[in-house]
Amino acid sequence: MNIIKRNGSQASYEGDKIRVAISKANATVPEEERLTEKDIHEIEEHVRAVGQNMGRALGVEEIQDMVENGIMEHGAFNVARNYIKYRYIRSLARKTNTTDDKILSLIECNNEEVKQENSNKNPTVNSVQRDYMAGEVSRDITERVLLPEEVVQAHKDGIIHFHDSDYFAQHMHNCDLVNLEDMLQNGTVISGTKIEKPHSFSTACNIATQIIAQVASNQYGGQSISLTHLAPFVQISREKIRKVVLKEIEMLGISPEEEKINKIIEDRLREEIRRGVQTIQYQVVTLMTTNGQAPFVTVFMYLGEARNEQEKADLAIIIEETLLQRYQGVKNEEGVWVTPAFPKLIYVLEEDNITEGSKYFYLTKLAAKCTAKRMVPDYISEKVMMKSKIDKNGEGHCYTCMGCRSFLTPYVDENGKPKYYGRFNQGVVTVNLVDIGLSAKGDMEKFWEIFDERMELCHKALQCRHERLTGTLSDAAPILWQHGALLRLEKGEPIDKYLHGGYSTLSLGYAGLWECVYSLNGKKLTEPEGEELGLAIMRKLNEYTAKWKAAENIDYSLYGTPLESTTYKFSKCLQRRFGIVKGVTDKNYITNSYHIHVTEPIDAFEKLALESKFQALSPGGAISYVEVPNMESNIDAVISVMQFIYENIMYAELNTKSDYCQVCGYDGEIQIVTDDEGKLVWECPHCHNRDQSKMNVARRTCGYIGTQYWNQGRTQEIKERVMHL
């Protein structure tokens, strides 16, 4: 049995230390008020038993809470009082060096929480450690100076989650849609160097990757680009290649037919497109930004964005090549093709590609094949999105999310034109719905009362995010604010105007709707009473964002939070506050956003149909998924799911497995097993290799693919997922 120390490092549980601490407190009271030796041993044995049954390492604070409760349950209230006093004094002494301890523990790679905080960051790498060190300093300043005490305490208690507090000290925003079209067509500046409009497709791709890296280093969330913005450069390359081919023909003194000339041109063009797409694929995977990871970038593939039929045909070629290369994967250090985490791909299902016989159905079949092997692309339904994303002119729009799921709300500029690229999200604060449900103890009147209090707390925290960006000058991130990624402001110009009026969004996140509803009425979201209450809670969340938006002219929007490490944190906090409640806190994770619980047996089509009702009430971002087995031999079934998505839900994905053992060459599913200490670990079923550095594991984490492993809560969630198909 292990414990997590205050600095985040892991250590073996030592019952003697608990017994000594109790004995010291025991010795401070009169003999008639003391615990017996038997009492002390019972308290320690109870702590040990709870830890062994919990299925995860207990934190020191959790253990001390249990000790306090144990002392009081034995009636030794003065002993408990002195034990609490001792804890308080020790806590004051620790405040001077907590940050130092955390930094030192992460440098030595023994901080378990940091090691598993981000499934796409390797904590042993210097650049990642440097980012984490800066993050600890930023977090310390944020908690001591920048945020109200009630927000900080609520965050620590797991009542809310103030996302990315390790970046809050700087004037940085969350995620955005990069205006790649503006930067490529009108030029940009990268690291003080003027970049003119490219004269070929391959050059445009190379510049795009440099833009991606620069943007990633100046924000902390995801970004998205559209392949449509690269499509015009296909024709530029085509014309350039034609001149070269005609000159070669003239030099050779031959007169081939126009059809043969065109074939030579298109063959060479295809090769250039292949090289350009490969540049994006490999640069994104191999680039490392200033926060120590590959850029979190999403590539959008939407034929409907093309301005004419020629551009659409050229865009189709780019999409085809992108899918082919992702299907192939990238080589790991052993030279074996594996699944990369980025770039994330999104493919739009539309009238031109959704049915057999439609013009671009061949792309949809290729996308299905790619999804079955590499888990991407994910799918947006143009049909559903056009109905749900309506602007003030009454027109529907289809556009990509920012990163994995954060969607902008419809926006019309001063010229009456819709605008999405060049917009951004200011930040996220998430409410733990499960905590509200358990705090109400089944009393619905009490639930809504606590709900109102928590919403005001979230509102205060979100206002802090907005105020932190207010007054930010364009000089803080020239690539974003001055050189076209988002805007083209003058030097020294503040970004304030674009924090209001709907240009950017502020996200109210939510988590654990499934457990919240179950804690209130004992019903699941899959049951009529559970569904009804779940939808009522969602509507209430939207009422609050609408109220704040109307009062402040700031675009608050409801967001289905993609909890990664926080699912474990929330679970631990709930267990500390409420104990183990069957069906609610008996897992080391809580459910993301509105999702059906991962253990719930449900058909893929039923799941998507039900979740579509909740997704429609999460306008600031949401994604649904179905868990499927290896589908490489059943592409028709994948296409059936895609066609169902097109008709029924705006944004969804298929989760499968894509693993490789470097020890024995096994390329099936790497399994999760329990080791001798009760810890969940990854193991090759063929050679039983458990060395994570010698295996490639790719799993959908919460909208995006993770490849660097997860904490115990998320690992349990991955292990317990049931198949939907």
Catalytic residue check, 175: yes
Task: Indicate whether 216 and 325 sit together in one domain.
Answer: yes
| Helix or strand run (H / E) with residue 661 | strand 658-661
CB 608 within 8 A of CB 648: yes
Whether 64 is covered by a domain: the verdict is yes
Task: Indicate whether 83 and 179 sit together in one domain.
Answer: no
Task: Indicate whether 71 and 191 sit together in one domain.
Answer: no
Tell me what percent of the chain is helix, strand and coil, each rounded to the nearest 5.
50, 15, 35
Task: Indicate whether 86 and 202 sit together in one domain.
Answer: no
Task: Indicate whether 189 and 59 sit together in one domain.
Answer: no
3-state SS string for 562-622: CCCCHHHHHHHHHHHHHCCCCCCCCCCCCCCCCCCCCCCCCCHHHHHHHHHHHHCCCCCEC
Which entry of 620, 703, 706, 713 is annotated as an active-site residue? 703
pLDDT at 101: 65
Catalytic residue check, 404: yes
Task: Indicate whether 183 and 274 sit together in one domain.
Answer: yes
Task: Name the domain boundary from 96, 121, 148.
Answer: 96
Catalytic residue check, 568: no
Domain that holds residue 81: 2-96
Task: Name the domain boundary from 286, 311, 342.
Answer: 342
Among the listed residues 371, 375, 372, 399, the one whose alpha carbon sits nearest the alpha carbon of residue 385: 399
Task: Indicate whether 59 and 194 sit together in one domain.
Answer: no
pLDDT at 79: 86
Which entry of 411, 559, 568, 625 is annotated as an active-site residue? 559
Among the listed residues 497, 618, 609, 626, the one whose alpha carbon sits nearest the alpha carbon of residue 553: 497
Q: Can you say whether residue 292 is alpha, beta or left, with left for phi > 0 and alpha for psi between -120 and 50 degrees?
A: left
pLDDT at 84: 75
Number of domains in the chain: 2
Task: Indicate whether 197 and 327 sit together in one domain.
Answer: yes
Catalytic residue check, 406: yes
Whether 227 is covered by a domain: the verdict is yes
Which entry of 172, 183, 301, 402 is annotated as an active-site residue? 402
Q: Which of helix, strand or coil describes residue 182?
A: helix
Which entry of 406, 571, 592, 612 is annotated as an active-site residue? 406
Among the listed residues 698, 602, 606, 679, the one whose alpha carbon sits nearest the alpha carbon of residue 13: 679
pLDDT at 4: 79
Whether 23 is covered by a domain: the verdict is yes
Whether 413 is covered by a domain: the verdict is no
Cβ neighbours for 328, distance < 8 A, ≥ 6 positions apart: 337
Catalytic residue check, 564: yes
Which entry of 62, 112, 350, 564 is annotated as an active-site residue? 564
Which entry of 175, 183, 205, 385 is annotated as an active-site residue? 175
Whether 36 is covered by a domain: the verdict is yes
pTM of the predicted model as reported, rounded to 2 decimal places: 0.86
d(CA 399, CA 420): 8
Task: Indicate whether 209 and 312 sit together in one domain.
Answer: yes
Whether 445 is covered by a domain: the verdict is no
pLDDT at 21: 87
d(CA 594, CA 609): 13
Which entry of 425, 504, 571, 592 is annotated as an active-site residue? 425
Catalytic residue check, 689: no
| Helix or strand run (H / E) with residue 162 | strand 160-162
Low-confidence stretches of the chain (pLDDT < 50) are none
Task: Indicate whether 68 and 197 sit together in one domain.
Answer: no
Structure tokens at 206: 């190379």
Whether 129 is covered by a domain: the verdict is no
Whether 338 is covered by a domain: the verdict is yes
Catalytic residue check, 271: no
pLDDT at 121: 56
Which entry of 54, 385, 404, 516 is annotated as an active-site residue? 404
Task: Indicate whether 199 and 298 sit together in one domain.
Answer: yes
Q: Which of helix, strand or coil describes residue 109?
A: coil
Task: Name the domain boundary from 96, 122, 142.
Answer: 96
Cβ neighbours for 84, distance < 8 A, ≥ 6 positions apart: 68
Structure tokens at 457: 């707390």
Which entry of 174, 612, 618, 711 is annotated as an active-site residue? 174
Q: Which of helix, strand or coil describes residue 210?
A: helix
pLDDT at 559: 96
